[in-house]
Structure 1
Amino acid sequence: MTPFTPTTNGAYVITRRKFARGSLLVLNQDYLWQIESGVVRTMTWREDGTCITFGLWGPGDIVGRAISKADPYQIECLTDLEATLLPASRWYQATDAMLLHMQRLGEFLEIVHSKPIETSLLLLISWLGKRFGREVEQGQIIDLRLTHQQMAEIVGSSRVTVTRMLNNFEKQGIIERVHRKLVVVQEPSLWHYEI
């Protein structure tokens, strides 16, 4: 099944598609996806089954098989998603999005490679608030619902450890939980964090 609608002259009409939370985007070397609304996670696995997250991507971002050499490679919808197909013949239109992709990838790598794990998780939560959050009375509410397991996969830890650290962050007043969502109450000061 091709994700494009072919025309009689062999060209393709760019199409917009909707995906449900938890579904996977179709992969092909000849096109990219430009996200219109929603959030996806790009990832691969090690031989032992360990998940490696390459990034979390939202509106305006591009993702696709053509910009990763990882094998296997997967794009998972973390929310309901709407995305537009961008065939290779139109990649020149996505130069700004490709540059932004590289910048965000670097930012994400800096977060996930921070040590200790507590610092990495604090940076991740702060980044999520800035990237996928909105201002509320208490601080920045993160509208993206990530499971503790997904956060653990991102920072290279276990679900149990992430749950314990989130509980500690809540006790310290760094975060609050509101209707199963995290609120970043205060910008974490990494130099003064108490373990």
Structure 2
Amino acid sequence: MSDLTHRISQQEISQIPQNAASRSFNRRDFLPEESQFFWLIKKGVVRSIAYTEDNTVVCTGIWLVDDIVGKPLSRTSPYIIEALTPVKVIAIPTSSWQPSSELIFNYWQNTETLLMARANHSAWFILLNVLNWLSQRFGNRTSEGYLIDVRLTHQDLAELCGLTRVTITRLLKQFESEGLIYRNSSRIILNDEYSTWYYQI
């Protein structure tokens, strides 16, 4: 699969202040909304979310080890980062460190790709596109296809796709019956015959 992530380099890591604090969070904890800090993920997976005026959750990205996230990268308010697994992060003060242009490009390219995956009138295509996006971010090759190696609830997927939980549950059952996906415990395996983009307007 193509890699959508520019990993932080050793040179960039060496420029992080030595006194940058390391913090740990449990699954479903919210990271503090700090405008003076970037968060460098060293373990686990988080998602960034925002709320519309009617309190609908909008997921703006899912981020993994060596990604940079934080309020300084977003204009949404509130900007919320939720741990999807136990995570360990390094809090980097904006006053003493700035991410490289490659890391910033990676952040926006991942967000843009997710937006394009959801840009469809068909819930069927939206979910398939988002599963493809997830397989590129988290996919591990198996004999059956690409294992999306992150545990997401149906509600998580609904908020990631901009659909309802009921729709996600129905479509996942349909995808499984059609052979598009397989189940491996709480993980999804995307059939590699369908691991391409399906942008349909």
**With structure 1 as the length reference, what TM-score do the two structures score?**
0.86
1:33 Cα offset (Å): 0.3
The secondary structure found in structure 1 opposite 2:129 is: helix
2:134 to 128, 133, 152: 128
1:65 to 46, 60, 71: 71
Superposed CA RMSD in Å reads 2.0
Aligned to 1:115: 121
Question: Can you give the 5+ residue segments of structure 2 that lack an aligned partner in the other structure?
Answer: 1-16
Paired letter, 1:64: G
Aligned pair 1:24/2:24, yes or no? no
Question: Can you give the 5+ residue segments of structure 1 that lack an aligned partner in the other structure?
Answer: 1-10
1:93 Cα offset (Å): 4.5
Aligned to 1:56: 62
**Deviation readout 1:104-162 (Å, 9 max, x if unpaired):** 11111111223312111101111111211211221111111111111111211111111
1:12 Cα offset (Å): 7.7
- Larger RCO (alpha carbons 8 Å, 6+ apart): 2
| C-alpha contact 1:43 1:54 (8 A) present in aligned 2 | yes
Cα distance in 1, alignment partners of residues 43 and 96 from structure 2: 20
The secondary structure found in structure 1 opposite 2:175 is: helix
| C-alpha contact 1:113 1:155 (8 A) present in aligned 2 | no
1:190 Cα offset (Å): 6.7
Greater CA drift, 166-175 or 129-138 = 129-138
Q: Percent identity?
A: 34
Is the alpha carbon distance of 1:94 and 1:81 closer, same or farther for their aligned partners in structure 2, counting shifts above 3 Å?
Answer: farther
Aligned to 1:36: 42
Aligned to 1:15: 21
Paired letter, 2:94: A
1:165 Cα offset (Å): 0.6
Q: 1:90-169 maps to which residues of 2 (within 5 A)?
A: 90-169=96-175
The secondary structure found in structure 1 opposite 2:31 is: coil
Paired letter, 1:119: F
The secondary structure found in structure 2 opposite 1:90 is: coil
| C-alpha contact 2:132 2:197 (8 A) present in aligned 1 | no
Aligned pair 1:177/2:183, yes or no? yes
Aligned to 2:5: none
**Deviation readout 1:8-64 (Å, 9 max, x if unpaired):** xxx981122221111111121111101122111111112222111111111121111
Aligned pair 1:81/2:87, yes or no? yes
Cα distance in 2, alignment partners of residues 103 and 91 from structure 1: 22
How many residue pairs get aligned? The number is 182
Is the alpha carbon distance of 1:119 and 1:167 closer, same or farther for their aligned partners in structure 2, counting shifts above 3 Å?
Answer: same
Instruction: Answer with 1 or 2: which has the greater Rg.
Output: 1
Moved over 6 A (4+): none
